[in-house]
Amino acid sequence: MSFWEQIKEKSEAAPIKLKMIFLENTIESLHLRLGSRAYDFRKTSGRMAENREIESLLTEIDAKKKELDDLRQDFHQIWKEGSQELKAGLKKSGGAFAQIRIAASSPAKGKQVKDLTLPREVLLGPITRGKDLIIPHGETEIQEGDRVTLLGTPRDVEAAKEYLQATGDI
């Protein structure tokens, strides 16, 4: 597979993530409209169960939530496949890939990426926090429960894992 074909495959996750963000914003907007309509209706007649607009908003919210759940599944599947392929490619070329969960006792917990003491030959990749995927930068704060992605030489990735999983300050 050519380099550009590999890049195209990896970029399939980006439009899905954008759609997910759009849907999350749409659902939030629908919830605000629903709250406003329910409040107005309650003030005027007191019987929300008969209001078709409220029923319509509830139906639309449910449909958008299902669509969002489907996109999340697609995104995570593409991400998982891409991660496996990346791991195999790195291993072939003498590199390493690891994902670790940040524990409450990690010296990285509560620190910004720029303040971490990572080995020179390690790249901190995407962080998964709950259902969110975070592309870290210097100001990103590492939190308990984060799944941190490490790329680099096998020796330095192992050293970074030991540092991030340590139970005290190093």
Q: Which domain holds residue 54?
A: 3-90
pTM above 0.85, yes or no: no
Q: For residue 114, what are the CA distances in angstroms to 3, 85, 108, 117?
A: 31, 28, 11, 8
* 64 and 105 together in one domain: no
pLDDT digits (tens, 9 = 90+) for 17-41: 788 889 999 999 999 999 888 888 7
Q: How far apart are CA 168 and CA 166, in angstroms?
A: 6
Closest CA to 149 of 87, 99, 76: 99
Last residue of a domain, one of 66, 90, 114: 90
Residues 98 and 161: beta-carbon distance below 8 Å: yes
Q: What is the CATH number of the domain that holds 113?
A: 3.30.70.1450
Question: What pLDDT is attached to residue 49?
Answer: 55
